[in-house]
């Protein structure tokens, strides 16, 4: 009876943790002039270590209003990863309130992560970007994350790789940043490894070529439509095989 009671309490606590985690993630994307956003996440367990967000912040120039785009993946799964995900969310929101460059924001995020990573064991891969709707300039840093896909309107594929090692490994590391100017019809696809490493019963992985084929075939649809197609395609590929990692995907299309 005590074991049953413990399991009931644990199940209840996990459900509460899931509800709290849901509050930390945005339900709907913000309205960005000249761009449309769609995102989704699917945890492998009750709670997840993946994080995504899109929110406004003050720019460096007076009256400027830019947008932060973030996708992160905490090493590990379930409760420990979910707790660190919450810490990541809190530190990102706190640091983003100040008028600082993306490089300063990234350095601060790494220092926060190093203070909670158990000596680098609980590191976090992340893609952080700042988008200026007026210039359509996307400035980004890739901290050991899967390289996002930038599909130009002419079909050319670019990878956003500039950055450094995952957060939480080395406190004094220096991160590079880069910027790209987006044009109408361009797609940005940011995802965690749970998407491309989703495996079927033959241990074959979904992999990036399938994602690219779907992106090329759906370039004229809306981000929400493409997101639905991606999730449906992954489900069809995986079949009855249990999900082994959190899946998160964020899409942006410039109009």
Task: Name the percent of the chain in helix, strand, coil, to the closest 5.
Answer: 35, 30, 40
CB 246 within 8 A of CB 195: no
What kind and span of H or E run contains 157?
Answer: strand 157-159
Q: Which residues are bridge partners to 205 per DSSP?
A: 199
Pick the closest to residue 76 from 210, 189, 166, 205 (CA basis).
Answer: 166
pLDDT, mean over the chain: 88
Residue 60 has pLDDT above 60, yes or no: yes
pTM > 0.85: yes or no: yes
Q: Superfamily assignment of 33-254 in CATH?
A: PPM-type phosphatase domain (3.60.40.10)
CA gap 145, 47 in Å, rounded: 21
Q: What is the pLDDT of residues 102-157, one digit of tens each?
A: 999 999 999 989 887 666 567 999 999 999 999 999 999 999 999 999 999 999 99
DSSP state of 244: -
- Provide the strand spans (E) within 10-118: 35-42, 50-58, 65-74
Confidence class for position 164, pLDDT limits 50, 70, 90: very high
Handedness of CA 69, 141, 132, 159 (dihedral sign): negative
């Amino acid at each position: 009876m005590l074991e049953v009671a413990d399991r009931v309490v644990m199940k209840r606590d996990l459900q509460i943790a899931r509800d709290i985690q849901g509050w930390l993630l945005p339900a709907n994307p913000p309205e960005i002039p000249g761009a449309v956003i769609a995102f989704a996440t699917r945890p492998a367990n009750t709670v997840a270590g993946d994080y995504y967000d899109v929110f406004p912040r003050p720019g460096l120039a007076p009256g400027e209003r830019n947008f932060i785009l973030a996708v992160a993946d905490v090493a590990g799964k379930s409760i420990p990863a979910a707790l660190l995900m919450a810490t990541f969310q809190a530190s990102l929101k706190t640091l983003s309130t100040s008028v600082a460059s993306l490089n300063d924001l990234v350095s601060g995020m790494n220092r926060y992560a190093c203070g909670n990573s158990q000596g680098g064991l609980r590191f976090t891969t992340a893609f952080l970007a700042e988008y200026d709707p007026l210039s359509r300039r996307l400035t980004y840093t890739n901290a050991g994350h899967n390289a996002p896909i930038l599909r130009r309107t002419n079909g050319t594929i670019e990878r956003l790789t500039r950055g450094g090692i995952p957060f939480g490994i080395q406190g004094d590391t220096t991160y590079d940043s880069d910027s790209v100017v987006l044009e109408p019809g361009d797609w940005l696809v940011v995802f965690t490894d749970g998407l491309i490493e989703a495996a079927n019963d033959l241990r074959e992985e979904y992999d990036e070529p399938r994602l690219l084929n779907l992106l090329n075939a759906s370039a004229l649809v809306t981000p929400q439509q493409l997101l639905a197609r991606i999730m449906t395609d992954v489900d069809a590929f995986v079949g009855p095989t249990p999900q082994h990692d959190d899946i998160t995907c964020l899409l942006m299309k410039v109009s």
